A = this chain, B = another copy of it.
């Protein structure tokens, strides 16, 4: 439990209690938290005796099949509906545009409850609750369900745990807080099996991904006394979770900066950069018209591969020796 709930919870409670029919939707290309918070909200509304439809552009991604959700999920890419909703709960979406095709389900007279944990959220709702301290939208819903004194079904506990677990990278990312861990603990007390959830999410890599991973790892080369790692994947297919791949390179002992090079359709190269410590790779990315953060940035490059490799190694070395 937390000591004090945010004041706005009473306004959110009003929004939910004074209405009967809701559309619930996350952002398109939904991640674990977006899915979890939408399914969780549907369970919460059910517990409150309300009706709702969950809409997810392109439906539930295959990866989440294990949830065996009893909640019907509307796919606006393949389905049509005459029904227009006047009340929408939009979850984990930084802007209204991010709900994608689900927009077609909204009435012109629409009331929006907007709940998110990204501070960059542009507050597009009629009621907005943006909590940048929360690790995930699912964490917000956990405390909201507590505030509303709802009974937690096993499904509700599972969904919210999955959202917290996936958005913190299984309690590894910097958004892992005492509050997040406490919510996770209480959800386990409510019946979640944490190792089962972790197995479903983290021990389920597609064979294709493992094959790409093998090629990327085989390509690894080290420079500047092992402080720079260079990874390449030269096949012209789109790869899933490129972030996870370069994270292995930057997570290798002794490595302070890493680059991942892939070819693009138009003959250019796509470069992702990562840094540990105080090295700023955004500055390098910006020189080539790219951008990002100090520790994770990227750019596109036109030229030869050898020239690109030499430039990356030289510029990262200079940063490391500065």
Q: Which A residues fall within an 8 A CB radius of B?
A: 165, 170-182, 184-186, 188-189, 194-195, 198-199, 202-207, 210-211, 213-215, 217-218, 220, 222, 226, 247-248, 250-254
User: What residues of B have a CB within 8 angstroms of the CB of A172 in the complex?
Assistant: 170, 194-195, 198-199, 202
Instruction: Give the dominant DSSP class at A's interface.
Output: helix
How far apart sit A210 and B231, CA to CA, in the bound complex (Å)? Answer: 12
Copies in the complex: 2
Question: Chain B's nearest CB lies how many Å from the CB of A186?
Answer: 7
Instruction: Tell me, in angstroms, the Cα distance from A188 to B171 when the chains sit together.
Output: 12
Residue among A175, A181, A214 with the most chain B CB within 10 A? A181
In chain B, what residue has the closest Cβ to A181? B185
Instruction: Name the distance in Å between A274's Cβ and chain B's nearest Cβ.
Output: 11
Give Cα distance in the complex from A218 to B220, angstroms: 14
With both chains docked as a complex, state the minimum distance between the C-beta of A279 and any C-beta of chain B, in angstroms: 15
Quick one: which of B171, B213, B214, B252 contacts A207, CB cutoff 8 A? B252
- Smallest Cβ-Cβ distance to A212: which chain B residue: B217
In the complex formed, the residue of B with least CB distance to A203 is: B251
Distance (Å) between the CB of A95 and the closest chain B CB?
A: 27
A250 touches B185 (CB 8 A): no
Q: How far is the CB of A112 from chain B (nearest CB, A)?
A: 33
Beyond A172-B202, A180-B185, 19 additional pairs, beta carbon < 8 A: A171-B184, A176-B188, A176-B194, A177-B188, A178-B188, A181-B182, A181-B194, A185-B185, A203-B250, A204-B251, A204-B252, A204-B253, A205-B248, A205-B253, A206-B252, A207-B222, A210-B248, A213-B217, A218-B218
